[in-house]
Amino acid sequence: MSNRLAKISLPIWLTTIFGILMIIEFFFSMPKIVTDTNTLLRSWVTIVSAAALILGTLILTIAHVKRAYERKTGWYYSLIYIGSFVVAGALGLISVRETNFMWIFNNMTSPIGAALYSLTAFTITSAAFRVFRARNWKATVMLVTGFIVLMMLLPVGAAIFPPIVPIGEWIRSFPSSAGFRGMIIGISLGTIGLGVRIFLGRQKEHLGIREEKKEAS
Amino acid sequence: MDMIWLGLIVGSFVSIGAYTVLIGDNPISKITEHLYTGILAGYTLAINWDFVMKNAVGKVQGGQFDFIIPIILSLMLFTRLKPEWIWISRYPVALTVGVGMGLAMRASVLSDFVGQIQGTLLPINNINNIVMIIGTITAASYFLFTTKYSGPYKYVNQSGLLFLLVAFGVTYGSTASFRFELVIGRLVDMLRPDVAMYTYGFLVLVAIILIYGYTTKRIPWYKGR
Amino acid sequence: MGRPVWYLFGSTDLTTPSILAPTIAAFQTLSYTARVAARLGAKFFVPLNQGLAYTMASDIVREAYLAENKLEDFDPLKTVMYLPAGADRMYIINHMWEEQVAGAFFLGSWYHEAVIYTENAAREGAVMLGGTDTTHNIPFLVAICDYSVIGEELYALGAYVSQDVLQSSSLAGQDVGKYFAIIAILTGAVLVTAGISLSWLFALGW
Amino acid sequence: MSIIKKILDMDQRIIYLGMFIALAYPILSPVILPVAIQDYSTQAFNFAVSIPDGSYVLIEGGNAAATHPQCGPGLTANIYHLLTKQCKLVFFSITAEPAYWTQVEIDNALAKLPATVAAKNGVNWVNLGYISGGESGVAALAADIRSVVSKDHFGKPINDLPMMKDINSAKNFAAAFWWGGSEGSIPYGIRQLVGPYNLPMSGSCTTNEVPNYSPYVSSGQLKGLFGGIRGSAEYELLLKVPGPALAQAMATNIGGLYFLGLVLLGNILYLTQRLRGEK
């Protein structure tokens, strides 16, 4: 069963050990060796996640090369991908502080990123028009509070109806704050529950482990 | 100076390219998509390569030999390119999930659970504090899984939902305002006097293509929905 | 027929604990969903924007297809796909139009993308399930999606679909925590009103 | 199909076009209205004023290209404010893109500063650049700066910088500012800086995140909060240093009114439809 040990048991045990190391350091004063190990482990995580992003870009590029090579639908778009990947990647690998690389970044990726980010302004408006209707009491509550808060935030709101600012601030500071507080308490318990399930080895989907247990229905 | 000027023009062109996804599936947005994905993938590759080189390989060269382990773990990730070896990549995942979950648990105990309870320990002497306490309690009890939805709990549950919905409404309103700020931030760059002519020109071009597509129905990607 | 089902994660930066937790919770649901999709022969698609999350999701979906003996339907380059964070937005919007997405899951840690994706999926007439624990974008998932899970329910969902007794019973443990919180708040508020300071309780050095 | 139903099922593209015009028009011809200053901004400003002159301040710069236009002016004002108080500033960013924009905002502030104020890189301010690892990175940075970064944003070894000589952990700082942009990262600061090290912290985020952090402000974990372009404009007004934020804050008006008008229209039509007994 050494196969099972290396493939399944050991990763689960390691997860638990690393997790518990992080937790005990926080609640009990630990010898220096533990805190040093934890600092080290945290910097390892950052390195591994950086490496995973390199892996991801490579796999994406393989997919695009394959699509272009097999002339699948839209293969010419893949050529655009490959071209821009090679240019940006090559310039960046020479030096991440290279001026041309920074130029591409500041004048192409940043504007597209910002534009995409701001697409939400448009979709939020159409979504509001479509779903923000007083269908029942729940929708009405959301509608009314949303309306008041937006009026408060717009400079013109105070000009039209001055009391809107204190009303909006009150809603934002008390009922809304209370609702989120209850939700945050719940979420923290959910996180703890999830952690317990993972550290007990009951939840192991994230490792890609499938156990041949009874047929899931 | 010329590079800055060119940058603004290119920036507004690609921004409009990105905005065209609003119209629907069309070639301009497809081109922008692939261009953007490519540049971003190259950027991600370069920046992370630089990071690994500086913080792992560089440190090993500097004599910190314990940083060989993350390099090995990183290489273990790449075994997944061969299906039989996928299990090897479980080890780096175990490290990440273990460390991350441990940090998440300890953080949520302190700042989320204890911190939020602490913040709610208010004297019951004015309406604001009462609203705060009742809201927090009912909203937390909205998430009770083991209690039957009947009797007095029904009212607690519904008032918890009321507070949650107020919170959602507030977020909706402030998010909407924030999104407008985002568009304005982008438009301020695009409509600068020195590049505005090009922006308008490109917009007119897009508009002509769209009107042509709509009136002749000749462009299949323009589907009314 | 033939329209795909998408499973979207939102932000999946696993080095950030507060994003990691909901993402891991969503992975458990992914395992179940992928299996059902494989069994029913539905086209399944999972785009992700972070390397480690991508490797995990790809394992999960592959194992799910393997469990249903449908490994030939699993395309290692297409079913689960890595897209650089940011670029996934354009890809997803464009392909939602092109492939006419029929069903979409929005689980995990959602940020601003939530409203873009849900609105576009709604335009395609997709059936949507949305749930997140980020307080920023939960309103959109609640308002736009057909079915929504709020906050903690996201964590419960994974335990629930696992049909593992121990996992479900951990939910009862969480309820005990909530009762504790409620009682602590009530007693604490009464004590504070009575003029008893409780600050020493929180000054234990942690 | 009745006209009401037709309007209710209006093509989204028409809405988008209207939105585009509503947002673009005020940029071309701005109208300035008076701004009422919000409580959170006043608190944050007073916190910045209360920092002792000459102390070390840790600043996270999280404004990306998208959020730079709204929160950038605020951070610029903040840097200006702190440098005039002779504070020593240490900047870092926890995502890659904001590292660049933080430097832009520093440069903007330096350009505005009067020549009498000392603002030398390495002496009065240090930009550590991008710190990988998100929240874990912040935790590591708070414990031991040199374990996370060895070189600053410009590639200089931090051991060579005179200002960094005495500081290596969050304990050395008197205050922190978390300019989180839209990263949603303010809780990282609260969990990793305020909780363990008792470092007083104030911050800024985009407007949409303000309600999420209001629990932290009312519990005192955050000393104050600047929200979005309005917050930036308010900082500029409080500091009495004019900047680009005010005009942009005014430009949100027409877009917001358009949004509210659409929501009203949708509801009125929906209710008439319901009263008439149509589906």
Q: B60-98, pLDDT tens digit by residue?
A: 888 888 888 889 999 998 888 887 888 888 888 899 889
Task: Pick the closest to residue C183 from B151, A183, B124, B137 (CA basis).
Answer: B137
As a whole number, the mean pLDDT across chain C is 85
Give the per-residue pLDDT at B162. Answer: 93
Q: For B171-207, what is each residue's pLDDT tens digit?
A: 888 888 888 888 888 788 777 777 777 777 777 877 7
Instruction: Find chains touching chain B: ≥3 CB pairs under 8 Å.
Output: A, C, D
Q: For D50-64, what is each residue's pLDDT tens digit?
A: 888 888 888 988 888
Q: Which amino acid is at D257?
A: L
Give the per-residue pLDDT at A81. Answer: 92
Instruction: Give exposure, C141-172, as e/b (b: 16+ Cβ within 10 Å).
Output: bbbbbeebbbbbbbbbbbbbbbeeeebeebbe
Same domain, D88 and D224: yes
Nearest to A129 among D215, D256, D266 (CB): D266
**CB-based contact D182 C112, cutoff 8 Å:** yes
Q: Which two tokens stand for residue A24?
A: 């005990």
**CB-based contact A182 B40, cutoff 8 Å:** no
Best residue in B21, B35, B39 for a mutation probing chain A (most A CBs within 10 Å): B39
A44 vs C167, more confident: A44
Give the per-residue pLDDT at B55. Answer: 81
Confidence of residue C203 (pLDDT cuts 50, 70, 90): low
**CB-based contact B44 C175, cutoff 8 Å:** no
Confidence of residue D86 (pLDDT cuts 50, 70, 90): confident
Q: Which two tokens stand for residue C48?
A: 């992700």
Task: Pick the closest to residue C156 from C6, C20, C22 (CA basis).
Answer: C22
Put simply, whether C152 touches A (Cβ < 8 Å) is yes
Region B51-59 average pLDDT: 84
DSSP annotation of D244: S
Asked if pLDDT for residue D260 goes beyond 80, the answer is yes
Query: How far is D136 from D141, CA to CA, in rounded Å?
Result: 9
Same domain, D26 and D85: no
Give the other-Cβ count within 10 Å of B205's Cβ.
Answer: 12
**CB-based contact A117 D140, cutoff 8 Å:** no
CA distance C69 to chain B (A): 16
C164 phi, psi to nearest 5 deg = -105, 125
Number of residues that make up chain D? 279
CA angle B77, B82, B84 (to 5 degrees): 100
Task: Pick the closest to residue D97 from B37, C114, A94, A113 (CA basis).
Answer: A113
Nearest to B181 among D16, D220, D252 (CB): D252
Q: Which residues of chain C are within 8 Å of residue B143 when distances are taken between CB atoms?
A: 150-153, 178
Q: Which residues of chain B are within 8 Å of residue A50 when distances are taken between CB atoms?
A: 48, 51-52, 74
Strands C103-109 and C127-132: parallel
Give the per-residue pLDDT at C157. Answer: 87
Nearest to A77 among B30, B48, B92 (CB): B30
Instruction: Give exposure, A108-133, as e/b (b: 16+ Cβ within 10 Å).
Output: bbbbbbbbbbbbbbbbbbbbbbbbbb
In sequence order, what are the beta bridge partners of D205? D227
Q: For C26-77, what is each residue's pLDDT tens digit?
A: 888 898 899 899 999 889 999 998 888 888 888 889 888 988 888 888 888 8
Asked if pLDDT for residue B26 goes beyond 80, the answer is no
Same domain, D138 and D211: yes
Asked if pLDDT for residue B11 goes beyond 60, the answer is yes
Alpha helices, DSSP H, located in chain B: 2-19, 27-52, 58-61, 68-77, 90-107, 115-120, 127-142, 152-190, 193-216
Same domain, D84 and D210: yes
Low-confidence ranges of chain A (pLDDT < 50): 214-217
Nearest to C60 among A124, A192, A208 (CB): A208
Asked if pLDDT for residue C158 goes beyond 70, the answer is yes
Task: Pick the closest to residue D214 from A194, B119, C14, A143 (CA basis).
Answer: B119
**CB-based contact A190 C119, cutoff 8 Å:** no
CA distance B68 to chain C (A): 19
Give the per-residue pLDDT at A79. Answer: 93
Confidence of residue B223 (pLDDT cuts 50, 70, 90): very low
Nearest to A49 among C52, C86, C154 (CB): C52
Closest-CA residue of chain D to B113: D191
- Tell me the domain boundaries of chain A: 132-203
In sequence order, what are the beta bridge partners of D177? D59, D202
* DSSP secondary structure string for all residues of D149-175: -SB-TTS-BGGG-GGGGS--SGGG-SE
Query: How far is A58 from A71, CA to CA, in rounded Å?
Result: 20
Same domain, D104 and D158: yes
Same domain, D57 and D83: yes
Domain count of chain D? 2
Region C140-167 average pLDDT: 84
Q: Which residues of chain A are within 8 Å of residue C19 when distances are taken between CB atoms?
A: none
Query: How far is B50 from A95, CA to CA, in rounded Å?
Result: 8
Q: Which residues of chain B are within 8 Å of residue A80 when distances are taken between CB atoms?
A: 31, 34-35, 38
Q: Which two tokens stand for residue D79?
A: 């840097």
Taking only Cα atoms into account, the Rg of chain C, rounded to an integer number of angstroms, comes to 20
Which residues of chain D are at the C interface, by a Cβ-Cβ cutoff of 8 Å? Answer: 12, 132-137, 182, 184, 187-188, 208-209, 211-212
**CB-based contact C24 A206, cutoff 8 Å:** yes
Same domain, D136 and D264: no
CA distance C49 to chain A (A): 9
Same domain, D7 and D107: no
Q: For D3-33, what is each residue's pLDDT tens digit?
A: 887 787 777 778 888 888 888 888 877 777 7
Region D162-167 average pLDDT: 83
Query: How far is D144 from D130, CA to CA, in rounded Å?
Result: 16
**CB-based contact A155 D253, cutoff 8 Å:** yes
**CB-based contact B224 D11, cutoff 8 Å:** yes
Confidence of residue B220 (pLDDT cuts 50, 70, 90): very low
Give the per-residue pLDDT at B117. Answer: 85
Instruction: Find chains touching chain A: ≥3 CB pairs under 8 Å.
Output: B, C, D
Same domain, D162 and D228: yes
Cβ neighbours of residue A209 under 8 Å, at least 6 residues apart?
A7, A8, A11, A12, B90, C63
% of chain B with per-residue pLDDT over 70 = 91
Put simply, whether C163 touches A (Cβ < 8 Å) is yes
Q: Which two tokens stand for residue D196?
A: 């363990």
Strand order in the sheet with C44-48: C80-82, C44-48, C5-10, C103-109, C127-132, C147-150
Which domains does chain C possess? 5-163 (3.40.50), 169-206 (no CATH)
Q: Which two tokens stand for residue B65?
A: 């030999």
Nearest to C59 among A59, A126, A208 (CB): A208
Q: Could you tell me the residue range of the domain that residue D64 belongs to? A: 39-243
Query: How far is B207 from B205, CA to CA, in rounded Å?
Result: 5
Q: For A17-69, what is each residue's pLDDT tens digit?
A: 999 988 888 777 778 888 888 888 888 888 898 899 899 899 899 999 998 99
Same domain, D117 and D235: yes
Give the per-residue pLDDT at A85. Answer: 93
% of chain C with per-residue pLDDT over 70 = 96
**Complex-level ipTM:** 0.82
Per the listing, tokens 């969050």 go with D170
CATH number of the domain enclosing D163: 3.40.50.10160
* DSSP secondary structure string for all residues of A43-62: HHHHHHHHHHHHHHHHHHHH
CA distance D162 to chain B (A): 23
Same domain, D113 and D197: yes
Query: How far is B125 from A142, CA to CA, in rounded Å?
Result: 28
Same domain, D20 and D109: no
Q: Which amino acid is at B221?
A: W
Q: Which amino acid is at C104?
A: A
Strands D175-179 and D201-205: parallel
Instruction: Find chains touching chain D: ≥3 CB pairs under 8 Å.
Output: A, B, C
Instruction: Give exposure, D69-86, as e/b (b: 16+ Cβ within 10 Å).
Output: bbbbbbbbbbbbbbbbbe
**CB-based contact C15 D184, cutoff 8 Å:** no
